[in-house]
Amino acid sequence: MSTANAQPADLDQRYGRSPRKGRRDRLTLIISAAMFAVVLVAWVVWAGLDGSKPMVEARDVAHTVIDDQTVRVDYEVSMPIGESATCAVQALNEDFAVVGWKIVDVPASDRFTQAFSDTVRTALPANTGLIFGCWLA
């Protein structure tokens, strides 16, 4: 039998197409889309509720290379009043490699934004100093 003379029913049977298979494919697609929607809504709710924690923001103000082993970093920390935080201050060389690192405790205050200046000792000559990040203690 040539394909030119083949009936549509013969082709459907040959390639596995049937009315039941079409309904099953549509049902699978609908269930998959519903599951995707449920996961998406759950993620949006979870991500939205996660943002309710108090935030700490740090901003670089200036840096001064004192000598080959020392960098002074001036920075500001903004955090909720009455909370304490911990910050990581770092010194980088011209290749952006970390050559000095210091963990600093930021005390609680009655002011939202506080200014600080810390000296970081370096293992190699540095060309910049900056605040890496802060988190609530």
pLDDT in tens, 65-89: 999 999 999 999 999 999 999 999 9
- The domain total for the chain is 2
68 with 40, same domain? no
pTM over 0.85: no
45 with 73, same domain? no
> 75: Cβ–Cβ under 8 A, 6 or more apart, which residues?
58, 59, 60, 61, 87, 89, 115, 116, 117, 118, 130, 131
Q: What is the CATH number of the domain that holds 90?
A: 2.60.40
pLDDT in tens, 41-60: 998 888 777 666 668 999 99
CB atoms within 10 A of CB 124: 13
Counting residues of the chain whose pLDDT is more than 70, the rounded percentage is 85
